[in-house]
Amino acid sequence: MLPAETSRLRFREMTDDDLDAMAALLGDPVVMTYYPVPKTREQAAAWIAWNQRNYAEHGYGLWIVETHTGEFLGDCGLTWQRVNDTSRLEVGYHIRADRQGRGFATEAAAACRDLARETLGSPELVAIIDPRNSASRRVAEKIGMSHLDDDTTGSVPVRTVMGMTLDARNER
C-alpha cells in the first residue's frame, strides 16, 4: 500500500539499501533542528527497521519520497503515535534541507492524508509538531489541519498537535 503518485512525487517502501540516504537525512542538523539531536547512522538503520515493521504490521509507515526521476527527497507517511496517552494516526515528513521550501512536504503529506481518508478510512489524522517549527505547522495547515491540542506526555515538554477529521464523503 502506497500513497498515489503526485505530479512531482512517487513513494516506495524503505529498504536497507536506503541507509546512506536516510542517515544523511536524519543526521542533518538542519532537518533535525526540532529533534533533541540528529540521528546516528545506527539510529537511521533502526528507523528503517521500524518502518519495515510498520509495513508488515499495518501495511503503511513512512515511505521514501522521491521525484519521478528517482531523486531522493526524504520520507513521509503514516504512523501510530501516542498523544496524551491515546494512540493516534499521524502524518510525518522530513525533506532534505536543500529541497525544503518547494512544496514537497505539503504535496507528500496531502497524498498521505488522502490515503488515510480514502483507503484506510481513518476518522482523523494528526501531525505532532514542535511549537517552534513554523514550517512544519504551515505544511499541516496547508493540508487542512488546525490546532487541536498540546501533548505534554512526550519526550519534550510540549508538542503541538495539529489535526483534522477525515471523511471520505467530504471533498478535499
With helix as H, strand as E and coil as C, how does 89-144 read? EEEEEEECHHHCCCCHHHHHHHHHHHHHHHCCCCCEEEEEECCCCHHHHHHHHHCC
Question: Do 165 and 124 touch, CB atoms closer than 8 A?
Answer: yes
155: pLDDT strictly greater than 80: no
Output the pLDDT for position 8.
97
152: pLDDT strictly greater than 90: no
162: β partners: 127, 147
Helix, strand, or coil here: 152?
A: coil
Output the pLDDT for position 48.
97
Q: Which residues contact 48 (CB under 8 A, 6 or more apart)?
A: 14, 15, 16, 18, 19, 22
Predicted structure pTM score: 0.92
Output the pLDDT for position 93.
96
Low-confidence winner among 85-94, 98-107, 128-137, 153-162 (lowest mean pLDDT) = 153-162
Output the pLDDT for position 172.
42
Output the pLDDT for position 168.
57
Nearest Cα to 23, choosing from 6, 40, 5? 40
- The DSSP element (H or E) to which 10 belongs, if any, is strand 9-12
Instruction: Answer left, alpha or beta for residue 59, where phi above 0 means left and psi between -120 and 50 means alpha.
Output: left
What average pLDDT does the segment 114-140 reach? 94
Output the pLDDT for position 110.
97
Distance (Å, rounded) from C-alpha 138 to C-alpha 30? 17
170: pLDDT strictly greater than 80: no
Distance (Å, rounded) from C-alpha 65 to C-alpha 52? 15
Count the Cβ atoms, other than its own, within 10 Å of residue 59: 12
